[in-house]
Structure 1
Amino acid sequence: MATPAILVNVNRCTGCWTCSMSCKVGHKLDLDEYRVHVNTIGSGNGVDSPGGTWPNVFMKWEPVYGKSCTMCAERTVDGLEPMCVFNCPAKALTYGDADDPNSAFSKRVEELKAKGFGVSQKPVWEGTRDNVYYAERVTAI
């Protein structure tokens, strides 16, 4: 059985919100409805607030998929990528079958692991969608 999955390369994400907006427009969501939102990893003091102190500041972004995300089942059944993956300008997102070692998803996971990335999912208590994985290479400052 196929297990659709999305891989988010946190080190490639630029925080542009294209994933969220393409989902919102593609699914004709209400003004205040989002299936994907983008967290800023930094100081925790709001959107796009860096962490650290000068000159050692840092900031990353992380698309977070809510339980309402369908991974664009109406598109993927026809062999197309979900709207977020298709439209990501940084190519930070990869879609595929987690059970198929030859899928784009599985190949990208293995490629990133070989480069020292850790791959994980959000904890269940965060209320996020299943089968969304996050790849990140942490470097010391």
Structure 2
Amino acid sequence: MTQYGFHFDGTRCTGCKTCVLACKDKNNLPNELNFRNVYEYGGGSWSQDEGGCWTQDTFTYHVSVACNHCDMPLCMANCPQGAIEKDPDTGEVKSDPEKCIGCGTCTQSCPYSAPKVDTEAMKSVKCNMCAERVAEGKQPICVEACPLRALDFGDIEELRAAYGTDAEIAPLPAASESQPNLVITAPVDAKPVGDSTGAVMNELEIL
């Protein structure tokens, strides 16, 4: 078995969201649904001293994330219909539309909110790591579309050998929750999981 995963390079990402739009276009997703999201995380403040000089500790950075096809997928563990499984060959976490009843338990269980509920079909839908493209030897569309090459995809052990093993950054959850197949190269001023000095600055875009 090959367990595939994603690498995100925060030192390259400019927050252009081309990955989000390429995914939406390929999967013909409605306006209110994303399989991949780009978080804009920032915080800090400005202050003026008695001499009139201004100083600041502001920061902002971007984090692109989709389904991480976790080793311990909470969506699968909590699905009341047993509609979610891991592909034995690729490690893809996928939903069976024949079993899914659209209850949304998977969405509520996933710490990354990766599964979504298609309210028209009343079925769980999610990133499938572009399985058909990967089977043809191609990269997922989000990876191929990124103009800054901030995303990579492949055997997770090879990605970890190339980029390290970090998989945590604010505003994402702790990796221990689900053991995601994700590697993160932290951007400048990256904050740790659980950070309270910043906030997601584009909440209306996170779908």
Superposition TM-score, scaled by structure 2 size: 0.51
* Residue 82 (structure 1) aligned with residue 144 (structure 2): no
Where in structure 2 are the equivalents of 1:121-136 lying within 5 Å? 121=168, 122-123=173-174, 130-136=180-186
Q: Percent identity?
A: 30
SS of residue paired to 1:24: helix
Aligned-partner Cα distance in 2 for 1:74–1:5? 15
Q: Name stretches of at least 5 consecutive residues in structure 1 with no aligned partner.
A: 44-50
Q: Which residue of 1 aligns with 2:3?
A: 3
* Residue 18 (structure 1) aligned with residue 69 (structure 2): no
Where in structure 2 are the equivalents of 1:85-124 lying within 5 Å? 85-99=143-157, 101=158, 105-109=159-163, 113=164, 119-121=166-168, 122-123=173-174
Q: Name stretches of at least 5 consecutive residues in structure 2 with no aligned partner.
A: 47-54, 67-113, 116-125, 191-207
1:139/1:78 CA distance change after superposition, 3 Å? same
Could you tell me which amino acid in structure 2 is paired with residue 132 of structure 1? L
Quote the offset at 1:3 in angstroms.
0.7
Quote the offset at 1:87 in angstroms.
0.5
* Residue 27 (structure 1) aligned with residue 33 (structure 2): no
* Residue 42 (structure 1) aligned with residue 42 (structure 2): yes
SS of residue paired to 1:59: strand
Quote the offset at 1:130 in angstroms.
3.7
Aligned-partner Cα distance in 1 for 2:36–2:4? 17
SS of residue paired to 1:76: helix
Aligned-partner Cα distance in 2 for 1:90–1:74? 24
Q: Which residue of 2 aligns with 1:64?
A: 65
SS of residue paired to 1:6: strand
Could you tell me which amino acid in structure 2 is paired with residue 120 of structure 1? A
SS of residue paired to 1:85: helix
State which drifts further: 12-21 or 52-61: 52-61
Superposition TM-score, scaled by structure 1 size: 0.72
1:124/1:136 CA distance change after superposition, 3 Å? closer
Quote the offset at 1:71 in angstroms.
0.9
1:62/1:126 CA distance change after superposition, 3 Å? farther
Quote the offset at 1:123 in angstroms.
3.1
Aligned residues: 121
Answer whether contact 1:94 1:108 (CA < 8 A) is retained. no
Deviation string, structure 1 residues 44-79 (Cα, Å, up to 9, x no partner): xxxxxxx44355432110012124111110100100
SS of residue paired to 1:63: strand
Task: Say which one has the larger Rg.
Answer: 2
SS of residue paired to 1:120: coil
Aligned-partner Cα distance in 1 for 2:136–2:23? 17
